[in-house]
Amino acid sequence: QEQLQESGPGLVKPSETLSLTCAVSGGSITHYYWNWIRQPPGKGLEWIGFIHFIGSTNYSPSLKSRVTISMDTSNNQFSLKLSSVTAADTAVYYCARSDSGWYYFDYWGQGTLVTVSS
């Protein structure tokens, strides 16, 4: 059974780049699709994008200009970069697995809160 664990700074300054990593254990990252999803405090869920090890990525149209998702197969992890952040990017960020590109999410990390503030 796969386990996912997010890590990264909990505080990011406005206009800077948010960077998070998701470490995958219990299975190879070369299988499946790997997603980032976020949830502002007290609000609903927003899909950010996915990556597959063959190199394909897909991003939410609303975030596409600021998002990069990459993969590190040697360390079995994938990463999120979100540039030019504002307070509206404050959220719990989750990594999650899916069997295909646009798909449902069957394994999730516990989530990590990122606050954007000076």
Partner 1 sequence: DIQMTQSPSTLSASVGDRVTITCRVSQSINSLLAWYQQKPGQAPNLLIYKASNLESGVPSRFSGSGSGTEFTLTISSLQPDDFATYYCQQYNSYSTFGHGTKVEMK
Assess 41 for contact with partner 1 (CB under 8 A): no
Output the CA torsion sign for 12, 15, 16, 18: positive
Give the nearest distance from C-beta 55 to partner 1 in angstroms. Answer: 19
User: Which of residues 16, 21, 23, 108 is near partner 1 by CB under 8 A?
Assistant: 108
User: Which of residues 46, 68, 76, 83 is near partner 1 by CB under 8 A?
Assistant: 46
User: Which of residues 61, 65, 86, 88 is near partner 1 by CB under 8 A?
Assistant: 61
Distance CA(51)–CA(118), nearest Å, equals: 31
Assess 110 for contact with partner 1 (CB under 8 A): yes
Residue 7 one-letter amino acid: S
Is residue 51 within 8 A of residue 57, CB to CB? The reply is yes
Assess 72 for contact with partner 1 (CB under 8 A): no
Only segment of 7-15, 20-28, 65-73, 109-117 that touches partner 1 (CB under 8 A): 109-117
Q: Count Cβ atoms within 10 A of the Cβ of residue 83 and give its class: 0-12 exposed, 13-18 middle, 19 or more buried.
A: middle
Assess 114 for contact with partner 1 (CB under 8 A): no
Distance CA(57)–CA(2), nearest Å, equals: 21
Structure tokens at 72: 């590190």
Q: By CB under 8 A, name the binding residues for partner 1.
A: 35, 44-47, 58, 60-61, 94, 96, 102-106, 108-111
